């Protein structure tokens, strides 16, 4: 599998809001197209990165362009309310603080927090055991695990670089 994937770099992204809204929108789409959805929305707005002051316009553009589930619309509204209340100056790496701000928002859970840690904060040892696409990639491995508990145990072999393992497995899906 390693021969098939491009080099994977862990680069921090200080704009957690950008990735958070991208996560919410992209959960609706297949893996191959999901990373393009957020980028296309930003491009249509003339933005490279989403900042808090652009959140409302981004959500409006998302709702006009994509048919999202009611739960995703509620999650987007919850994030917007958090931004409007000034709950957005987050210090990278502070998982407890991030959980306090995002935890009460309907539709934001452990998977979303792990995505922020993995992609935005470039934490080296995060493995989202409930990720659908990682589960598919692991099933293709000899003796691949089938349940989240099995995935957690299986992924221990890659500690303390589980984030890199996750990214390689995703990349291997193509």
The token pair at 21 is 């809204």
Please tell me the predicted confidence (pLDDT) of residue 2: 47
Q: Looking at the predicted structure, is the pLDDT value of residue 96 above 70?
A: yes
DSSP secondary structure letters along 46-58: T-SS--GGGHHHH
Handedness of CA 95, 156, 8, 128 (dihedral sign): negative
Condensed to tens digits (0 to 9), the pLDDT of residues 28-75 reads: 555 555 567 788 888 989 988 888 888 889 888 888 887 778 888 888
CA distance 80 to 58: 10
Contact 162, 155 (CB under 8 A): yes
Q: Looking at the predicted structure, is the pLDDT value of residue 110 above 60?
A: yes
pTM confidence score: 0.76
Residue ranges of domains in the chain, CATH in brackets:
16-120 (1.10.340), 128-172 (no CATH)
Neighbour tally for 49: CB within 10 Å: 12
Q: Looking at the predicted structure, is the pLDDT value of residue 88 above 80?
A: no
Q: What is the DSSP letter of 141?
A: S
C-alpha count within 13 angstroms, C-beta hemisphere, residue 8: 20
What value does the CA radius of gyration of the chain take, rounded to a whole number of Å?
A: 16
């Amino acid at each position: 599998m390693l021969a098939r994937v491009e080099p994977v770099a862990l680069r921090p992204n200080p704009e957690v809001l950008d990735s958070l809204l991208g996560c919410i929108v992209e959960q609706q789409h297949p893996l191959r197209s999901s990373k393009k959805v957020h980028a296309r929305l930003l491009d249509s707005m003339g933005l490279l990165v989403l900042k808090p002051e652009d959140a409302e316009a981004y959500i409006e553009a998302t709702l006009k362009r994509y048919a999202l589930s009611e739960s995703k619309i509620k999650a987007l509204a919850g994030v917007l309310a958090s931004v409007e209340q000034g709950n957005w100056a987050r210090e990278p790496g502070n998982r407890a603080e991030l959980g306090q701000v995002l935890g009460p928002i309907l539709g934001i859970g452990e998977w979303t927090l792990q995505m922020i840690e993995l992609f935005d904060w470039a934490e080296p040892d995060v493995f989202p055991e409930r990720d659908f696409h990682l589960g598919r990639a692991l099933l293709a491995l000899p003796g691949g695990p089938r349940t989240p508990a099995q995935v957690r145990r299986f992924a221990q072999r890659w500690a303390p670089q589980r984030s890199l393992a996750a990214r390689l497995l995703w990349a291997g899906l193509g």
